[in-house]
Amino acid sequence: VVQQESVTRRLWHVPKWLFMVYLCLIAIGFWLMSASTSTSILQTPWQAISEFYPFCFFAITLLLGVFLFSKYKSGLLLLCIVLYSLLIHAAVPLSHSLPWGGDVWRMIGIEGRLQTEEVVFPVLFGEGVTTVPVLGVTIPEILTAPHKYVYGHLWASTLLIADTLRVSLLSLNMWLVPVLWGVFFPLLSFRIALLFFRSERYAVWITALLQMPFILQAHGSLTLASSLGFLFFLFWLLLWCSFLEGRRRYQWVLALFFAVLSLFGYSLYAILIWAIMAVSLIFLFAKNISKTALRQGVYWMVGLFGAILLPAIELLLHTSRFSFVTPFFGNIKTALAQFSGWA
């Protein structure tokens, strides 16, 4: 509370009419993008977006920056960030009348087959079940086809929404993740940051800062299984952090329930979820070890396990390779390009 009051005393007084200006600029931004939607062959969305839009977006960003250090309530600031996030992620679907991305079109093709009740092999039940030998044991082939359970939650969600709301698969694959990400990514980020920093103002600042990295902007603009899986991961992380703070039984049940559900989603986030659960629980139990040396040894072992888990899995699956010669400057350039959008 003292920390919150100390921050509040250093904030600026900003007139409320500037918030109305902000809303008008947001509306103008959406209008500029929707008015320039293209049907041509494009290499980048910027080929279609109006040349006046960057000036509008700059003014919106400038106003949001001013609001963040104003005496506006946290709820109003969070609303500004959600609108800002929606504007950012609407740029890709509004730039063209068709979806962007080869992976998105591949998902649309499979969803179209499922919508017409066509079977997508391999399957676990019904006709056409095939098996393969693994380590001397015969198992259903579907268990060796990760795309069926990595993308299954996206296919099921898309078809359910399309049939319920009578929306075309094209429109749904253009807008599903941009809308969900635009709304829930700021809200989940705010709640998680609030658990860590105990200050609504700090949580708002962190939430606004997370709208800046290009890699997150791009991730939230395309309807992909990894994007939907990331939102699910943030939701679970919020549940787990709440459990670690409150230690209530219903929080444990909810976190465990969604952890089990993650096994039927994007594999990377399922691995992260179960690894975080395991590491957290081991740390909790290690606190009760009376011998300091043993307790520190457990901490070091758990830390080492967490550090090498994902690289070890990638090496085992041959999705990465170990090299003694590392292109240091090339890796820095790639990282900067992914976070800034500049290749």
Residue 341 confidence (pLDDT): 61
Cα–Cα distances in angstroms (integers) from residue 326 to residues 225, 226, 329, 330, in the given order: 30, 27, 9, 9
Q: What are phi and psi of 117, to 5 degrees?
A: 65, 30
Cα gap 76→19, rounded to integer Å: 9
Q: Residue holding tokens 């606190």?
A: 287
Enter the tokens of residue 239.
Answer: 């549940």
pTM for this model (two decimals): 0.86
Nearest Cα neighbor of 45 from 82, 87, 96 is 96
Nearest Cα neighbor of 222 from 181, 184, 262 is 181
Residue 265 confidence (pLDDT): 83
What stretches in the chain show pLDDT beneath 70? 1-9, 146-147, 317-319, 324-326, 328, 338-343
Residue 2 confidence (pLDDT): 47
Enter the tokens of residue 196.
Answer: 């860590």
Q: How many CB atoms lie within 10 A of CB 112?
A: 13
Residue 285 confidence (pLDDT): 82
What does DSSP say about strands 131-134 and 137-140: parallel, antiparallel, or unpaired?
A: antiparallel
Residue 28 confidence (pLDDT): 96
The CA R_g of the chain, rounded to the nearest whole Å, is: 23
Cα gap 197→57, rounded to integer Å: 30
Amino acid at 90: A
Cα gap 168→207, rounded to integer Å: 33
Enter the tokens of residue 115.
Answer: 């919508």
Q: Residue holding tokens 């290499």?
A: 43
Q: Residue holding tokens 């699910």?
A: 232
Enter the tokens of residue 192.
Answer: 């998680």
